[in-house]
Structure 1
């Protein structure tokens, strides 16, 4: 699959980039995509939720009513879960939600996500860009020139570029990452995948490793 390379003014440079069919041309695997996105979302969870259980609450331990004969539920003390303001049964406890996925599964998931973007013609290639200073208006002008300002944009750079990152940081529908940070969730979450020219080779190398 060949794509034209655009400059930041939105004009074609005459150069072409060939996307690797072993990455962008595979048959997507929906199950591994689900697994990888599930792991990504699980890793975002802090897992600090906590509610007090019966033994952790303060209150009298006096037995309120006799065990049998009242016609109602038995209750041992004021902390009983059957009472308003009582303890919670099997409440949440702090825990770690992360789980392991094999490297080959995660690689296949990223390839599948890239293949979906290629099928839907949601990939653009732009010349390697660098701003002299962090300026959001320069990034907005580039997005307007490329006619992607109305889309949810994921810009993939070959390496860290502080000025580009800071220029896009305040834009709600724009995310800037490096090729090494590429993940399935971010790829699927955008409606336009904007690749810097050198990022195409960087992504190829990423899957060769």
Structure 2
């Protein structure tokens, strides 16, 4: 697939770029995409939740009354879960939610995500973006020139450029990631994916 390269001003740069077939032209694997998105979202969970169990709450360990002959139920001590302020039964404990994902499955998922966006006409190729200083209005003007001012926008750069990143970090529904940072989830979430020429070369190296 060939796409016209656009300048930062949204004009035709006068050349085309060939999108690699092994990244933007594969047979989409929906299950691989599902697994990759599931693993990404799971890794965002901190897993620091904790509740106190019977052995951790404050209180006496004295048995409240004798086992038999009172007409009441067997209760044990005041820290029993049946009492207000007692320990929690099977409460949450700190844990990791990470889901293991094989490298080949992760690669297949990323390629599938890029292919889905390419087939939908949501991929734009732009010259490597350079800003002299972080300015949000310059980045907004860039998005408007690219016709990407609606929906969620993802800009993929070759490397992390602080001027570009800081120009767009406060804009809602906009994300700026380097080719080494972008995930399947990031691509699938975006309505428009803008890829710099340098980022395409980096992606080729990753999928080689």
Instruction: Output the TM-score relative to the length of structure 1.
Output: 0.92
Greater alpha carbon shift after TM alignment, 131-140 vs 143-152:
143-152
When residues 175 and 70 of structure 1 are mapped into structure 2, their CA distance, relative to the original with a 3 A threshold, is: farther
Q: Measure the CA separation in 2 of the matches of 1:70 and 1:27.
A: 73
1:30 is aligned to: 30
Distance 2:159 2:23 in 1: 20
- Distance in 2 separating the partners of 1:157 and 1:9: 17
Query: Mapping of 1:188-207 within 5 angstroms?
Result: 188-207=188-207
**CA pair 68-21 structure 1, distance change in 2 beyond 3 A:** farther
- What is the aligned partner in structure 2 of residue 12 from structure 1? 12
**Alpha carbons of structure 1 residues 71 and 3: separation in structure 2 relative to 1, 3 Å:** farther
What is the alpha-carbon distance in structure 1 between the residues aligned to residue 20 and residue 37 of structure 2?
23
Q: Distance in 1 between matches of 2:87 and 2:156?
A: 49
1:173 alignment partner in structure 2: 173
Decide which structure has greater helix share: 1
CA–CA distance in 2 between the matches of 1:73 and 1:6?
78
1:10 positional shift: 1.4
- The verdict on how the C-alpha distance between 1:69 and 1:204 changes in structure 2, with shifts beyond 3 A counting, is farther
- Whole-angstrom distance in 2 between the partners of 1:148 and 1:71: 74
Gaps of at least 5 residues in structure 2 are none
- CA root-mean-square deviation: 1.7
**Distance 1:79-1:18 versus aligned 2 partners, 3 A rule:** same
Report the counterpart of residue 98 of structure 2 in structure 1.
Answer: 98
Shift of 1:72: 6.3
- Partner of 1:144 in structure 2? 144
Question: Residue 160 of structure 1 corresponds to which residue in structure 2?
Answer: 160
Distance 1:79 1:104, change over 3 A: same
Tell me by how many angstroms 1:96 deviates: 2.0
Partner of 1:48: 48
Is residue 86 of structure 2 the alignment partner of residue 86 of structure 1?
yes
Q: Which residue does 1:131 correspond to in 2?
A: 131
Secondary structure of the 2:200 match is: helix
- Per-residue deviation, residues 16-58 of structure 1 (Å, max 9, x unmatched): 1111222211111111112111221222222211110000011
- The aligned residue for residue 64 of structure 1 is 64
Q: Which runs of 5+ in 1 are unaligned?
A: none
Give the whole-Å Cα distance in 2 for the aligned partners of 1:73 and 1:106.
56
Give the match's secondary structure for 2:27. coil
What's the secondary structure of 1:111's corresponding residue? helix
- The TM-score normalised by the length of structure 2 is 0.93
